[in-house]
Amino acid sequence: MSAETPTAVTAFGPVMQLGFVVPNIPASVHYWTSIGVGPFFLMEHISFAECIYRGQRTEIDMSVAVAQWGAVQVELIHQHDATPSIYNTTDCSSRGGLQHFGVMTASVADDLRRLESCGVYAVQSGSTGNGVRFAYVDTDTRPGAYPGCMIELIESGAAIDGFFEIVRKAAINWDGSKPLRKIG
């Protein structure tokens, strides 16, 4: 390994979420529930306290639906507007597909400082209206990576941990009823 080569980043994980950009959330929910994944919890037009894309403050209009598939969560993401973001400027944005792997962290800020020393930077970051902090890092641009290799850091906290627990519990012995459940 040369002096210019960043060291391996091994502190991610475990992967707890697969995030897909989709052209239509209800149609995607139909697919996933047809193979037994569900129920999905839909959050429409998410309110961001702050969103930064490539160093610039931005506002995007997006919705997500989340369900549990065993130990892994499935997140379906649909951006309603054309504002540049990771959801509409990556390889999967034109056709849909895997956009990121999600991992939990105790501190997004601490992880970003550590990752920057390895040459890994936030492409999009911020917080939701209820204080959930997140950052998507540019792991999909590293040598040997493929589209869909971006990693989302999701900061643990009461709001997100509570929501993810609701999603997990709803999936246990789910009987197929109410496959798409609106929140808020």
pLDDT tens sequence for the chain (184 residues): 344 444 445 567 789 999 999 999 999 999 999 999 999 999 999 989 999 999 999 999 999 999 999 999 999 999 999 999 999 887 665 667 888 999 999 999 999 999 988 888 999 999 999 999 999 998 877 777 776 678 999 999 999 999 999 999 999 999 999 999 999 7
107 within a domain of the structure (yes/no): yes
Alpha-carbon distance 38 to 141, whole Å? 32
Structure confidence at residue 7 (pLDDT) = 47
Structure confidence at residue 138 (pLDDT) = 86
Backbone angles phi, psi at 34, to 5 degrees: -65, -20
137 within a domain of the structure (yes/no): yes
Structure confidence at residue 51 (pLDDT) = 97
Q: What is the CATH number of the domain that holds 115?
A: 3.10.180.10
162 within a domain of the structure (yes/no): yes
The residue range of the domain holding 101 is: 15-173
184 within a domain of the structure (yes/no): no
* Torsional sign, CA 73, 161, 60, 127: negative
95 within a domain of the structure (yes/no): yes
Alpha-carbon distance 136 to 144, whole Å? 18
Task: Give the number of domains in the chain.
Answer: 1
88 within a domain of the structure (yes/no): yes
151 within a domain of the structure (yes/no): yes
45 within a domain of the structure (yes/no): yes
Structure confidence at residue 94 (pLDDT) = 61
